[in-house]
Amino acid sequence: MTKVFIGGSRRVPRLNRYVRNRIDKIIERGCTILLGDANGVDKSVQSYLFGRNYKNVVVFCAGNECRNNIGHWETRHIRVDRRKKDSDYYSAKDLEMIREADYGFMIWDIKSKGTRENILNLLKENKKTIVYLTPKKSFHTLTGLADVKELLNMCNTTYQHKFEDMFSILGGDEKEGKEESQRVLDSV
């Protein structure tokens, strides 16, 4: 059975009809949906799936507490060896969902660092990722670095400077990242 990691920004409190339609297609295929427990996209997707009475869901939580599990679905508590509940703490569950997923569906406001890292980590694991850019109301299918560059071209220049970090996560070195970043910016 296909497993889909759905995630996104905590600053996206509602799902529009385009995102709901895409989730409906995932439901129709009977996929297992892997979700986090955060507010924002995670909680909105949980609410939508609960409303659709969809049962094939697993909610991943960092540590012993689950912040949100609206449908009382199966949970996976991911052990985290740190007490401080920061982005590193919560990213442990994301890394496990990436490991288990066959592909990803990320709902990104272009600002969320966590969603950006999830997109890159999915690609690093050679997992196709559908990205919905909320400011553009557009879907993008990513299968590799070239697709990330294309997606970046759509981003506000304020966020394009983060490309150097993205490139290094995907295995490039800092110098190559800066050179590639400049090529991307020059082509905009």
Confidence of residue 188 (pLDDT cuts 50, 70, 90): very low
Instruction: State pLDDT tens for residues 61-72.
Output: 998 889 999 999
Confidence of residue 99 (pLDDT cuts 50, 70, 90): very high
Most confident of the following: 58-72, 76-90, 170-184? 58-72
Query: What is the distance, to the nearest Å, from the Cα of residue 144 to the centroid of all Cα atoms in its chain?
Result: 15
Range 103-124 average pLDDT: 93
| SS percent in the chain: helix, strand, coil, step 5 | 45, 20, 35
In the block, tokens 């009809």 appear at 17
Q: State if pTM tops 0.85.
A: no
Above 90 in pLDDT, residue 89? no
Q: Kindly list the structural domains of the chain, giving each domain's residue range(s) and its CATH number in brackets, ordered by start.
A: 3-143 (3.40.50.450), 145-188 (no CATH)
Range 106-110 average pLDDT: 93
Residue whose C-alpha is closest to residue 90's, from 119, 114, 120: 114
Range 3-19 average pLDDT: 96
Range 121-145 average pLDDT: 92
Range 84-89 average pLDDT: 71
